[in-house]
Amino acid sequence: MPTVWTHFSTQGEAELAMARLEFAGIARERIDRIEDADGRWSVGTYVDHADEPHVRGLMTDRYAPTRADVTNLAVIGAAVATGLAAWYLLPARRRQGS
């Protein structure tokens, strides 16, 4: 089973990569994070050969979702749906202001 390692310049970038991997279903116990001597951070995980390109892409794709991203979108969507429902439930006369 190969280990996929990717290097990041900051700890925050490394933690986001770890969050993306966890959101994709990789167990936390299979993800390692190491601070290199030069101050960079390395994130690695053990994967099957077939999954190696997918995992490497997840680690480096800044736009891949994390659990926090999905939660924020769900809250925003619920707020918009509630506002629209309230708007349509008001009688037409009250909406027009007369």
* pTM for the predicted model, two decimal places: 0.63
DSSP label at residue 48:
-
Q: How far apart are CA 2 and CA 10, in angstroms?
A: 24
pLDDT in tens, the chain (98 residues): 778 898 899 999 999 889 888 888 888 888 989 999 999 999 999 888 888 888 888 888 877 767 666 677 788 889 999 988 888 887 766 656 65
Q: How far apart are CA 32 and CA 56, in angstroms?
A: 14
Fold topology of 1-65: Alpha-Beta Plaits (3.30.70)
> Quick check: 42 and 36 in contact, CB under 8 A?
yes
